[in-house]
Chain A
Amino acid sequence: EAGVAQSPRYKIIEKRQSVAFWCNPISGHATLYWYQQILGQGPKLLIQFQNNGVVDDSQLPKDRFSAERLKGVDSTLKIQPAKLEDSAVYLCASGDWVDTQYFGPGTRLTVL
């Protein structure tokens, strides 16, 4: 069974630029999560999708972050404009029901 795929693996941008991350969940998984993991901290949920609907985006900075899940499968997370404090690893996870989540390798973002 293929795991959660993410791209790119690394991204370096200047502040105020925009960036987008892509996630392909495990086939058949209805739930998809985006997490932000700052160095030395645990993952923090940004947004949770159930199929292509948003379940929870309470911690998503909506003035600069946006996310969508097309046709209930792939998802993109966008940051525009980026700030220095957005430097982190962005993790995508998927699950087929409550509780169990399978994480991708993450995208390491550096904002200069």
Chain B
Amino acid sequence: QQQVKQSPQSLIVQKGGISIINCAYENTAFDYFPWYQQFPGKGPALLIAIRPDVSEKKEGRFTISFNKSAKQFSLHIMDSQPGDSATYFCAASDSDTNAGKSTFGDGTTLTVKP
């Protein structure tokens, strides 16, 4: 049973465009939703995260939109740059029952063309 489903699997965007990656979860006990960025040969690095008490969080060019009723959240990358080309993972965790344990999506490979 996959608890976090991520789409699309791959995404190609022109420089300056908007990249949108979506995730859906099943476990309503999840209360922390981070996005990680992973470059080849590196471990994932936390990009931005949100808790369900807010519907949107913005940090620079990166925005998370969260829809609690639909059990969906998405990452928006504004003004996408070639340096943003990487694999992006959404994740979800339940702080109460499994402190810090995250369930990851299968990733989206983003390519930003110059």
Which A residues lie at the B interface, using CB under 8 A? 4, 31, 33, 40-45, 48, 50, 55-56, 91, 93, 95, 97-106
In the bound complex, CA of A4 to CA of B45 (Å): 11
Whether the Cβ atoms of A44 and B43 lie closer than 8 Å is no
> Is A55's CB under 8 angstroms from B98's CB?
yes
| A99 & B106 in contact (Cβ 8 Å cutoff) | no
Among B32-75, those with CB < 8 Å from A are: 32, 34, 36, 41-46, 49
Contact A98 B100 (CB under 8 A): yes
CA distance in complex: A99, B52 (Å): 14
Q: Please, how many angstroms separate the alpha-carbon atoms of A41 and B89 in the complex?
A: 9
> Please, which residue of chain A has its CB at the minimum distance from the CB of B91?
A42
Minimal beta-carbon separation of A61 from chain B (angstroms): 17
The answer to whether B93 has its CB under 8 Å from any CB of chain A is yes
For B106, the chain A residues whose CB sits under 8 A away are 40-42
Task: Tell me whether B104 is interfacial, beta carbon within 8 Å.
Answer: yes
B43 close to A4 (CB less than 8 A): yes
Chain A residues, CB < 8 A from B91:
42
Given contacts A40-B107, A44-B104, A100-B46, contact A105 B99 (CB under 8 A): no
Among B4, B41, B99: residue with most chain A CB under 10 A:
B99
Q: How far is the CA of A56 from the CA of B99 in the complex (A)?
A: 10
Is A101 within 8 A of B99, CB to CB?
A: no
Residue from the list B32, B44, B105 in contact with A103, Cβ < 8 A: B44
